[in-house]
Structure 1
Amino acid sequence: MGSAPKSYFLLYMMALLPALCYTEDSYVGSKATYYNTPDGLGTPNGACGYGECGRTVYGGNAGAVSNKLYRNGTGCGACYEVTCKIPHLCNSDGVKVVATDRGDRGDNTDFILSKHTYAAMANPKMASKLFAYGVVPIAYMRVSCRYPNHNLAVKVHEWSRYPNYLAIVFLYQDGKSDINAVQVLQSDGRLWRNMGKLNGAGAVWGVANPPRCALTLRIQVSGSQGQKWVNLGRVIPREWVSGATYETGIKLA
């Protein structure tokens, strides 16, 4: 069997090259800054609607992301590895950050980090010099969230009013998946009813006049393995309480 002509071989390699070079897990160059809260953590008023949990989740490694990463709230709860790119000042490990807020500072700044998170990018005893920069060059990549001590949980948001209006937000969203839709099972056990996203709180889902029974939800999840529905059977009790958090017993790996 003869060898292929060189011109055919070159064309084949040129067509294959993008597939060889591209990876979903590649780093993206950008910039990061920080917001100056007194305790160094995030803000409880983040656009995602996580409240106080948004300040302390991931050991306080939380931050606001640009509109392109926020994605109208779908990007809430996504985790990123963020590495500062100033030689001798920043460590090579970077930090793992969870998106809990939205904030666009322009000039290709994709992250506004808590002071705690921003300082964690620096080498020992270099944090003060890093803060002096204000805005630093970074490389970031989306990574899987890991909550070893938590399953996916459903928090009944404080905007809820029992029994006429239910608003929920999902906490401890493991893996690298997005929640694109949420439905609640009607009391007849056959029909699903859509929950809508609340304006100004990108990760909060709400429904008026929910069924007067223990509530079964299902969520539409998308990720590297495609899109699927995940059932959360009777996860919210009949007499749910505003501000309460209920475990689902599953992980979105």
Structure 2
Amino acid sequence: MLLTTLLKLTLTITTLFTLSPLATSHYSSSSSSFSSQQPPSSPSSSTSLSEWRSAHATYYAAADPRDAVGGACGYGDLMKAGYGMATVGLSEALFERGQICGACFEVKCVDELKWCIPGTSIIVTATNFCAPNYGFDNEGGGHCNPPNKHFVLPIEAFEKIAIWKAGNMPVQYRRIQCRREGGIRFTITGSGIFLSVLISNVAGHGDIIAVKVKGSRTGWLPMGRNWGQNWHINALLQNQPLSFEVTGSDGKTVTSYNVAPKDWSFGQTFEGKQFEP
């Protein structure tokens, strides 16, 4: 019965959204590390933004490597982006309609001593959304139904804190500061006067509340959130270097001047300044 439930849960989750990986993840056991393009550190050294709170967590196991591409935050191929499997999909009660994308959480297994791996926690980045499934009640297959606070983890992350047989596992979580290697990344797509910019690898609070862009022949122009961390504007900005102003959810702003050169083209990624820890 447990195996059947887990298989149904995995199929339900993967048909809703495909979870994907640019953030640090590690766990506090000294035996090995679980990281992606981040310097090793322990969760205890990370700056906490919130107190520990209760939630539940399940996992998904991608049946195809291509399932690691996608996600409701728009990061695309998360392995290529650098997040690895240090990612999480959040239920509606936590997702904040995509504004939370890029935020970092520390998660640990609690209560279920039979299944928990003692003394461990993981750090993951919000990259996806677990949609409600109203065909099941909140205690059954509707784990992500409101008002449940639920984390859907790649099995590689889940198994750092609990045995996979645990199923719907009680956990505790807290927001922490994101630690990133390198600067904020700006991936420019679009066509003509439509400019879309995916913003990733954001340190500090990790999530973004405002973005502005400036060409060499314009003033600062506010961009709108398209979805996840994709921001857009209708403006003719070709053939001029681009600067970006990014504001995190803590109100801090970092400005990257002339990130994209005059001859930038759609499909390119550029690296700017970074929020200081």
| Matched residue, 1:116 | 156
Deviation per CA, 1:37-57, whole angstroms, max 9, x where unpaired?
Answer: 126897322010000026764
Structure 1: gaps spanning 5 or more residues: 1-22, 123-129
Matches within 5 A, 1:33-182: 33-38=58-63, 43-53=68-78, 57-85=82-110, 86-91=112-117, 92-104=119-131, 105-106=144-145, 108-122=148-162, 130-147=163-180, 149-157=181-189, 160-161=190-191, 163-182=192-211
Structure 2: gaps spanning 5 or more residues: 1-47, 132-143
Cα 1:167/1:56, change in 2 over 3 Å: closer
Tell me the distance in 2 between the aligned counterparts of 1:228 and 1:140: 24
Amino acid corresponding to residue 233 of structure 1 in structure 2: Y
| Matched residue, 1:3 | none
Deviation per CA, 1:78-129, whole angstroms, max 9, x where unpaired?
Answer: 110111112143222211111001114227242111111111113xxxxxxx
Equivalent residue of 1:70, what SS? helix
Structure holding more strand per residue: 1
Tell me the distance in 1 between the aligned counterparts of 2:127 and 2:83: 11
Contact 1:44 1:55 in 2 (8 A): no
Contact 1:25 1:141 in 2 (8 A): yes
| Matched residue, 2:254 | 230
Equivalent residue of 1:137, what SS? strand
1:221 to 248, 257, 263: 248
Measured on the aligned residues, the alpha-carbon RMSD in Å equals 2.5
Tell me the distance in 1 between the aligned counterparts of 2:80 and 2:165: 23
Tell me the distance in 2 between the aligned counterparts of 1:42 and 1:135: 22
Deviation per CA, 1:159-188, whole angstroms, max 9, x where unpaired?
Answer: x22x43221111111122531111112544
Amino acid corresponding to residue 185 of structure 2 in structure 1: A
Tell me the distance in 1 between the aligned counterparts of 2:171 and 2:153: 12
Deviation at 1:204, TM superposition (A): 0.3
More off after superposition, 74-83 vs 202-211? 202-211
Contact 2:254 2:274 in 1 (8 A): no
Deviation per CA, 1:117-174, whole angstroms, max 9, x where unpaired?
Answer: 111113xxxxxxx322321100000111112x322111224xx22x432211111111
Deviation per CA, 1:226-251, whole angstroms, max 9, x where unpaired?
Answer: x2432211112233233322110323
Cα 1:249/1:24, change in 2 over 3 Å: closer
Question: Percent sequence identity over matched residues?
Answer: 28
Equivalent residue of 1:69, what SS? helix
Moved beyond 3 Å, runs of 4+: 39-43, 54-59, 186-189
Equivalent residue of 1:30, what SS? strand
| Matched residue, 1:239 | 263
From the CA coordinates, give the structure whose radius of gyration is larger.
1
Deviation at 1:59, TM superposition (A): 3.5
Amino acid corresponding to residue 174 of structure 2 in structure 1: M
Confirm whether residue 205 of structure 1 aligns to residue 231 of structure 2.
yes
Cα 1:250/1:154, change in 2 over 3 Å: same
| Matched residue, 2:19 | none
Amino acid corresponding to residue 114 of structure 1 in structure 2: P
Matches within 5 A, 1:18-33: 25-33=50-58
